[in-house]
Amino acid sequence: MDRIETLLAAMTLDEKIGQLTMMSSNLAVTGPVLPGDVTEGIRAGRIGSLFNHWGPERVRETQRLAVEETRLKIPLFFAFDVIHGHRTIFPIPLAEAALFSPELWERTAREAAMEAAEDGLDLVFSPMLDIARDPRWGRISEGPGEDPWLGSRIAEAKVHGYQTADLAAPDAVAACAKHYLAYGAALAGRDYNSADVSDHAIREVYLPPFAAALAAGAATVMPAFNDVAGVPMTANARLLRGTLLGELGFDGAVISDYNAIMELLPHGVAGDAVEAAALALKAGVDMDMMSGAYAAGLPKALERGLVTQDEIDDAVRRVLRLKQRLGLFDDPYRRVVAVPDAFHAAERRRLAREVAAKSIVLLTNKGVLPLATSAKRIAVIGPLADARSEMLGSWAGAGRWEEAVTILEGVKAALPQAEIAYVPGTEIETGGDAGIAAAVQAARGADVVLLCVGEAAIMSGEAASRARPELPGRQRNLAEAVLDLGVPVVTLLTSGRPLMLPWLFERAAAVAATWFLGHEAGHAVADVLTGAVNPSGRLPVTWPRDVGQVPIYFGERNTGRPTDPDQHYTSKYIDIPATPQFAFGHGLSYSRFALSDLRLSAPMLRPGETLTVEVTVTNTGAVAGEETVLLFIHDPVASVARPLLELKGMAKAALAPGRKQVLSLALAAEALAFPGLDLKPVLEAGEIEILVGTRAERSELLSAMIRVEV
Q: How far is the CB of 257 from ligand NOJ (least distance, A)?
A: 5
Least Å distance, CB 28 to ligand NOJ, is: 8
The two beta strands, 77-80 and 176-180, are: unpaired
Contact predicate 654/588, CB 8 Å: no
Compare residues 461 and 625 and give the one whose CB is closer to ligand NOJ.
461
Q: Work out the angle between the directed axes of helices 293-303 and 273-283 (0-180°, nearest 10).
A: 90
Q: Which is nearer to ligand NOJ, 118 or 142 (CB)?
A: 142
The CB-of-463 to ligand NOJ minimum distance in angstroms stands at: 9
- Minimum CB distance to ligand NOJ smaller for 233 or for 645: 233
Pick between residue 31 and residue 399 the one whose CB is nearest to ligand NOJ.
Answer: 31
Q: How far, in whole angstroms, is CA 517 from its chain's centroid?
A: 13
Q: Which residues contact ligand NOJ by CB under 6 A?
A: 30-31, 81, 125, 178, 257-258, 462
- Residue 383: other Cβ atoms inside 10 A: 26
Which residue's CB is nearer to ligand NOJ, number 30 or number 661?
30
Give the single-character DSSP code of 306.
S
Q: For residues 183 and 593, which CB has a smaller minimum distance to ligand NOJ in the complex?
A: 183
Q: How many CB atoms lie within 10 A of CB 433?
A: 13
What minimum distance in Å lies between the beta carbon of 125 and ligand NOJ? 3
Q: How many CB atoms lie within 10 A of CB 685?
A: 9
Does residue 495 contact residue 515 with C-beta atoms inside 8 Å? yes
- Please name which of 410, 642, 651, 649 lies closest in space to residue 518, comparing C-alpha atoms: 410
Work out how close the CB of 560 gets to ligand NOJ at its nearest, in angstroms, rounded to a whole number. 39
Return the closest-CA partner of residue 57 out of 319, 326, 333, 314: 333
* Type of residue found at 72: L
Catalogue the E-assigned strands of 584-708: 593-600, 604-605, 610-619, 625-634, 646-655, 660-668, 674-675, 681-682, 686-693, 702-708
How far, rounded to the nearest angstrom, does the alpha carbon of residue 126 sit from its chain's CA centroid?
Answer: 9
Measured from the CB of residue 395, what is the shortest distance to ligand NOJ in angstroms? 8
Closest by CA to 441, choosing from 387, 478, 490, 491, is 478
Cα–Cα separations (whole angstroms), residue 297 to 20, 49, 240, 602, 622: 12, 19, 21, 61, 68
CA distance 384 to 387: 5
User: What CA–CA distance (Å, rounded) separates 652 from 540?
Assistant: 15
From the list 51, 58, 154, 172, the residue with the least C-alpha distance to 111 is: 172
Strand order through the sheet with 686-693? 604-605, 702-708, 686-693, 625-634, 646-655
Residue of this chain nearest to ligand NOJ (CB atom): 30
Hey, which residues does 600 pair with through a beta bridge? 613
Active site residues: 257
Please tell me the distance from the alpha carbon of residue 366 to that of residue 181, in angstroms, as a whole number: 42
Compute, in degrees rounded to 10, the torsion defined by CA atoms 427, 430, 431, 433: 120
Q: Quick one: 95 or 615, whose CB is closer to ligand NOJ? A: 95
Q: How far is the CB of 143 from ligand NOJ (least distance, A)?
A: 10
Q: Which is nearer to ligand NOJ, 222 or 279 (CB)?
A: 222
Name the minimum Å distance from CB 553 to ligand NOJ.
Answer: 23
Q: Compute the Cα dihedral for 441, 444, 447, 448 and give only its sign.
A: positive
Between 177 and 439, name the residue whose CB sits nearer to ligand NOJ: 177
User: By C-beta, is 36 or 548 nearer to ligand NOJ?
Assistant: 36
Instruction: Output the CA–CA distances (angstroms, integers) from residue 178 to 53, 127, 159, in the order listed.
Output: 20, 6, 12
Residue 169 C-beta: closest distance to ligand NOJ, Å: 23
* 303-to-283, 285, 307 alpha-carbon distances in Å: 19, 19, 8
Instruction: Write down the least CB distance from residue 64 to ligand NOJ, Å.
Output: 24
